[in-house]
Structure 1
Amino acid sequence: MSGSTERGASSGGTTVHEAIESYLRYKINADGSKTTMRSPLREFADHCRDERDLEFVDDLTPHDVRSYSEHLYDRVIIDEGLAASTAHNYFAYVRAFLSWSVREQHLESNPANTNTAMDPLPEDDGNRKRQYWSQEDRETLLEYATKRVDMALEGTIRTDAETAFRDRAIVVMLDGTGARGAELFADPKDDKRNGLQWKDVDFDERLIEVYGKSREYEQAPFPASVHNVLKRWYRVQEPTTEAWPVFPTGHYGSKKRILEEALDEDRVSSTLEDRGDAGKTEVLDRLHREHEVPPPSISKEGVRRLLKRFTDEAGIDPDGEYDYLTLHGARRALGRDLYTSGMSEKAQEALRHNSIETTHEAYADVKMKDVSDSIDDVRS
């Protein structure tokens, strides 16, 4: 029963992972239902273990389930990699599993049946049209990001050249690698996701090493177009250490806090006070370089705001459930282009899906349209 004396300590009870496997084996009869439910339920168990330091099912509380709801919210709103309707389905799977756990006397009550657990779930407005960056939209976005670099170099926009080069590299990296936003940029809620660093980039092999959804390090490829832009950005940035983030934040407070932690709060303050005609951000950037203290990476939320602004400024009106080009829309588009070209296995490799079935499921709508077109061809 709930209430173990030491959270996560070995109590000889049933782990969340074990309980889920028993639930799927003995309670869910249909193979199709098992396949549908297995991945999100295992993700819930992984979240409990990795994010909540919780191993045993009898330790689960409404706050643990709420943490999973917040995770689903982030996947819908911040990562844009999950439809709101799917998030609600995943939560329903977890709630059903926990009801079974009550009947099996693993729990006294269902921690998912509380407002505390359910409140963070994103609102489902019924819009299920998934976004893919279209060929026209992605070309417009890439052209606009390049145009900003030219304008920054000419001094015709307020953005400095280094930031414009960074922003173009962000857009090109999203467009060409299939990497998830959480693999490239910082996630303040996950201390293991601090953003891509230059030590993770291999220009010779044209690959990057990312901390994947599996919570293990994985290799992701990037094509020549990404390679050239990223190489140019590296030369512009001139990082003083390979631990430098590929996409540093421009947020003043975040950079100042890191310096205060690495050096000394009084030392940073006195340097800022004695800066003369130099701007505060310029002083912070100089301190980061002089002392080889890498600034923080830009966050997923920061990139989401950037893409919102670029979509508006470039005059792009994307299809799908969002009115701006999303981080995950780029990943979907890359997989779609490979998939529809008859390279489903290459799509699986580029997106780093565990199985080809996952890839087929991700592009079921594309596959069905192809079937419909084939019927038209045969019957015409």
Structure 2
Amino acid sequence: MSGSTDRRADRGGKSVEEAVSRYLGSLDSGGSRSTMRSPLNEFATFCDGEGVQRVDALETNTLREYGMYLRERTIEQELAASTANTYFNYVRAFLSFCVRDELLDTNPANTQRAEEFLPEDKGDRNRQFWDPEHRQQLINYVTERVDMSLEDSIDVSREIAYRDRAIVVLLADAGVRGAELFRDPRDDARNGVTWGDIDLENHSLEVFGKSRQYERVGLPSAAREALDRYRRVVEPPTDAWPIFPTGHAPSKYAAYREVTGEDPNEDMAIDDALRSEEIPPPSLTKAGGRSVMKRLTKEAGIDLEDGEYLKPHGARRALGAELYEKGHSELAQSALRHKSIETTHESYSDIQAKDVAQGIDEVRE
């Protein structure tokens, strides 16, 4: 009996990351490994962000918070509800393996409490798409706002006005995800894009994609122009400087202290101190990016149902829909960086249904 206990104590110290690697290696199907690797690695990263490094430290509360994390991503339309539930099931299967491997006594995901915050899967009927008129209205507004900042006829700095315009145009024209532009405090790999990630000559922006690999996003002319003009205004001191830095002063001071070990001179503003030492401030968070879009939607006079706002992912869906509807399904696949054309077809099944209905009508005329 004591030998079994000692063995469990020894194995229980295994890190979540190590256990995930062992579980993936145990799977017979290469397809299953490929499908589950990214969500499970993301779960390991989530656990680390929650201060849970060891498997034997996993509790129902950890899984409950993970369910909330998936729910938040669903609300922001980064994940479909069905995908969020699938990811949770992958984690549940992994934890059952940990029980069999004597790393855990029981599976903390197998409780109603753990599942409390999981989003209900009702399909994707309520997916937001930016309406073409709303899209143009928002772009017109942020462009006028830049002009007003240059004329000092609005209480918004030039830097903020150019920043907000760059955010809107990138979302509207490049099909980039908000999670790829902004920092995720719960994911150390998502620190936000920097000026070094941009290659205007080759019309591209490198982002840490949904696949958890670095991917190249194509930058159409409007996005390149917005970024180029914004860069001339901010004059980033280094390539490591975030394109969209946070406005949160305590985070900036923390970044300065982390590098220098002390506070900046009282006579110097924190932004000037960071520039002087070439210490990049943290990037704007995903929540900060959502706040920007909420404010701009309201200021532009765009009224949506139920007090909604133009969400970052709605722009991506609208771009894909526009390309797909005009017969450019492969371009839509490339722009959205879908791994297969089947994913693109599935995403725009409503457009396919419309085409089928029109085809039937044409045949029967």
| TM-score in terms of structure 2 length | 0.83
- Matches for 1:195-234 after TM superposition, within 5 Å: 195-234=192-231
**1:190 maps to 2:187:** yes
The aligned residue for residue 6 of structure 1 is 13
Instruction: Note the C-alpha offset of 1:179.
Output: 1.3
Partner residue, 2:237: 240
TM superposition shift of 1:347: 1.4
Counterpart residue number, 1:308: 294
Is 1:351 aligned to residue 336 of structure 2?
yes
1:78-157, aligned counterparts within 5 Å? 79-84=76-81, 86-88=83-85, 90-91=87-88, 95=92, 97=93, 109-122=106-119, 128-157=125-154
- 1:175 paired with 2:172, answer yes
Deviation sequence 1:185-229 (CA, Å, 0-9, x none): 111111121111111100100101111122221111110111111
Q: Whole-Å Cα distance in 2 between the matches of residues 108 and 292 of structure 1?
A: 50
- CA deviation profile, 1:87-111 (whole Å, cap 9, x unmatched): 346545655x469759978775432
For the 8 Å contact 2:17–2:41, the answer to whether it is kept is: no
User: Aligned residues, how many?
Assistant: 354
Aligned to 2:41: 46
Contact between 2:43 and 2:91, CA under 8 Å: does it hold in 1?
Answer: no
Task: Tell me the equivalent position of 2:3.
Answer: none
* Match among 17, 24, 28 for residue 17 of structure 1: 24
- Asked if the contact 1:15/1:56 (under 8 Å) is kept, the reply is no
Once the two structures are TM-superposed, the CA of residue 13 in structure 1 deviates from its matched residue by 10
Residue 59 and residue 257 in structure 1: after superposition, are their counterparts in 2 closer, same or farther (change >3 A)?
closer
Unaligned residue ranges in structure 2 (runs of 5+):
1-6
In the alignment, the residues of structure 1 paired with residue 17 and residue 274 of structure 2 have an alpha-carbon distance, to the nearest angstrom, of 44
- Taking only the aligned residue pairs, the percentage that are identical comes to 45
Q: Which amino acid letter does the alignment assign opposite residue 71 of structure 1?
A: Y
Structure 1 residues 137 and 286: CA distance shift in structure 2, 3 A? same
Aligned equivalents of 2:173, 2:212: Cα separation in 1: 22
Residue 137 (structure 1) shift: 1.0
Any idea what SS the aligned residue of 2:12 has?
A: coil
Q: Which moved more, 1:254-263 or 1:100-109?
A: 100-109
Gaps of 5+ in 1: 26-33, 276-282
CA contact (8 A) 1:152 1:160 kept: yes
Q: 1:242 to 1:102 in 2, by over 3 A?
A: closer
Equivalent AA in structure 2 for residue 323 of structure 1: E
Distance 2:339 2:64 in 1: 27
Aligned to 2:67: 69
Q: Deviations over 1:57-104 (max 9, x none)?
A: 999653553454243123113x42234465346545655x46975997
Which shows bigger deviation, 83-92 or 47-56? 47-56
TM score, norm. by length of structure 1: 0.80
Further displaced range: 59-68 or 127-136:
59-68
Residues 301, 236 of structure 1: alpha-carbon distance in 2 compared, 3 angstrom cutoff: same
Structure 1 counterpart SS, 2:217: strand
Q: Provide the alpha-carbon RMSD of the alignment.
A: 3.5
Q: Secondary structure at the match of 1:15?
A: helix
> Does structure 2 conserve the Cα–Cα contact (< 8 Å) formed by 1:259 and 1:293?
yes
CA offsets, 1:110-153, max 9 Å, x none?
32222552244346788832111121111011011111111222
Q: Which of 324, 327, 332 is matched with 1:342 structurally?
A: 327
Q: Give the Cα–Cα distance (whole angstroms) in 1 for the partners of residues 333 and 137 of structure 2.
A: 27
Aligned mate of 2:350, from 365, 369, 373: 365
